[in-house]
Amino acid sequence: DKKHSGHILIKSEFASLALSTEKISEIVEEESQGMFDSRVAIPGHVQQGGLPSPIDRIRATRFAIKAVEYMESLEIDDNEKSLAVVLGIEGSKVLFKPIENVWNEETVYGKRGRKMVFWNRTKSVADMLVGRQVC
């Protein structure tokens, strides 16, 4: 049985001019002499459209805290499938959902979107308020 535990390093893109995120990943792998795998994830797509707003920064902080708490709560011999989760917000709560459930139950594959889009119910009101023709 393969035993594993998770660790996460969070680095601001402006934290170091000398050490890129990729370089830190390489150092972890090399210095651990094969004891650790290291993967890099840069969530840049979240910030498309300009500088992050204060609410974006608050949300990112909440996500980072929840991600660390999740990793700390894992048992060393947890089922590997249950470890792959999606972190998101529903209502006012930050939730983890198994990635397999999100993929099978909530995703429209061809459109790269959700089956249930919460703001669709208010779209006609928004269209009316900005003067668009409402069908």
- The pLDDT tens digits of the residues spanning 55-111 come to 888 888 889 899 888 888 877 665 565 677 888 888 788 888 888 888 788 777 776
Q: Given phi > 0 = left and psi -120 to 50 = alpha, else beta, which region is 131?
A: left
Q: Report how far residue 119's alpha carbon sits from residue 135's, in angstroms, rounded to the nearest whole number.
A: 17
The pTM (predicted TM-score) of the whole model is 0.49
3-state secondary structure of 92: coil
Tokens of 97: 């959902």
